[in-house]
Amino acid sequence: MLGWSIAFFILAIIAGLLGFTGIAGAMAGVAQVLFVIFLVLLVISFIIRAFKGRSVV
Protein backbone atom coordinates (compact mmCIF):
# COMPACT_ATOMS: atom_id res chain seq x y z
CA MET A 1 0.00 0.00 0.00
CA LEU A 2 2.91 2.31 0.66
CA GLY A 3 4.09 1.60 -2.86
CA TRP A 4 0.73 2.74 -4.27
CA SER A 5 0.81 5.97 -2.32
CA ILE A 6 4.35 6.69 -3.54
CA ALA A 7 3.28 5.93 -7.13
CA PHE A 8 0.31 8.31 -6.91
CA PHE A 9 2.54 10.96 -5.34
CA ILE A 10 5.04 10.70 -8.20
CA LEU A 11 2.25 10.79 -10.79
CA ALA A 12 0.81 13.87 -9.06
CA ILE A 13 4.18 15.63 -9.26
CA ILE A 14 4.54 14.77 -12.96
CA ALA A 15 0.97 15.90 -13.72
CA GLY A 16 1.58 19.13 -11.81
CA LEU A 17 4.73 19.83 -13.78
CA LEU A 18 2.89 19.24 -17.05
CA GLY A 19 0.10 21.63 -16.07
CA PHE A 20 -2.68 19.16 -15.31
CA THR A 21 -3.55 20.74 -11.97
CA GLY A 22 -6.92 19.01 -11.54
CA ILE A 23 -5.45 15.57 -12.08
CA ALA A 24 -2.46 16.41 -9.88
CA GLY A 25 -4.76 17.45 -7.04
CA ALA A 26 -6.81 14.28 -7.35
CA MET A 27 -3.73 12.06 -7.37
CA ALA A 28 -2.25 13.89 -4.40
CA GLY A 29 -5.51 13.33 -2.52
CA VAL A 30 -5.46 9.62 -3.31
CA ALA A 31 -1.83 9.40 -2.22
CA GLN A 32 -2.66 11.08 1.10
CA VAL A 33 -5.58 8.74 1.79
CA LEU A 34 -3.54 5.64 0.96
CA PHE A 35 -0.67 6.86 3.14
CA VAL A 36 -2.99 7.42 6.12
CA ILE A 37 -4.52 3.95 5.63
CA PHE A 38 -1.00 2.50 5.51
CA LEU A 39 -0.06 4.24 8.77
CA VAL A 40 -3.23 3.06 10.52
CA LEU A 41 -2.63 -0.54 9.43
CA LEU A 42 1.00 -0.28 10.55
CA VAL A 43 0.01 0.91 14.02
CA ILE A 44 -2.64 -1.83 14.31
CA SER A 45 -0.04 -4.39 13.27
CA PHE A 46 2.39 -3.14 15.93
CA ILE A 47 -0.30 -3.27 18.62
CA ILE A 48 -1.35 -6.80 17.69
CA ARG A 49 2.28 -7.92 17.62
CA ALA A 50 2.91 -6.37 21.06
CA PHE A 51 -0.05 -8.11 22.67
CA LYS A 52 0.38 -11.42 20.87
CA GLY A 53 4.14 -11.70 21.24
CA ARG A 54 6.26 -14.33 19.61
CA SER A 55 5.85 -17.97 20.47
CA VAL A 56 9.03 -20.00 20.76
CA VAL A 57 8.65 -23.39 19.12
Q: How many domains does the chain have?
A: 1
* pLDDT at residue 13 in the model: 84
pLDDT digits (tens, 9 = 90+) for 27-56: 888 888 888 898 998 899 888 888 887 655
Integer distance in angstroms from the first to the last C-alpha of the chain?
31
Q: Provide the domain limits for residue 33.
A: 2-52
In a domain, 31, yes or no: yes
pLDDT digits (tens, 9 = 90+) for 13-22: 888 888 887 8
* pLDDT at residue 7 in the model: 84
- Crossing angle of the two packed helices 2-18 and 21-52, in degrees rounded to 10: 160
Neighbours of 34 (CB within 10 A): 19
In a domain, 25, yes or no: yes
In a domain, 57, yes or no: no
> What length does the chain have?
57
Burial class (CB in 10 A: 0-12, 13-18, 19+), 28: middle
